[in-house]
Amino acid sequence: MRRPRRLAACGGAALGLALLVAGCAPAPPAERDLALTVTDVARGRVLARERVEPGAWVRLTYVHSTEGRPVRATFRVEADRTLRLVETAFPSLGPGLPALGADGTWTVEDGMIVARSESAPMAELRLRAVPLTRHRLTLPSGRTLDLGVLVEAGDPIRVAVE
């Protein structure tokens, strides 16, 4: 009876040591696995997926539907897998565009009003693109997606860090 007891004790000690060593191993940083994914929600189809690092920029450009003028929105990838709007640029004030405050968060650069203020973190960005608004998404790699031709007009698109 003593022999099985020793084996059990040795096996238990080895398992305990293995768990202790595994518990002390550093976990890989979350940002190593970050990927920006652009999805055609209606069809469940991935339009683009690429690895990203925290601090990477994603730019959405489009023609404002009522003003008919170009708008540029810049988002920053965060380590917690969110996106944060950090800048919006537009040539004139209009509905749906940021209000300009007197607190120095905006400038005029190359004929565009550039409003810089950080939004709350967003788990995802959802939009609907139509050819008229010419939505284009520039990924951190520099690759640009013409969203209005990649999905059916008005179908939802999801942009998220996964």
Which helix or strand (DSSP H or E) is residue 125 part of? Answer: strand 125-128
The pLDDT assigned to 120 comes to 93
The pLDDT assigned to 102 comes to 61
How far apart CA 48 and CA 45 sit, in angstroms, is 9
Distances (CA, A) of 131 to 21, 42, 74: 56, 17, 21
Residues 44-81: pLDDT tens digits?
A: 999 999 999 999 999 999 998 888 889 999 999 999 99
DSSP per residue, 10-36: HHHHHHHHHHHHHHHSPPPPGGGG-EE
pLDDT band, very low/low/confident/very high, at 98 (cuts 50, 70, 90): confident
How far apart CA 71 and CA 83 sit, in angstroms, is 18
Single out the residue of 137, 142, 141 nearest to residue 39, CA to CA: 137
pLDDT band, very low/low/confident/very high, at 107 (cuts 50, 70, 90): confident
Alpha carbon 108 to chain centroid distance?
Answer: 27
Single out the residue of 162, 129, 144, 133 nearest to residue 40, CA to CA: 129
- Rounded to an integer, the average pLDDT of 89-97 is 81
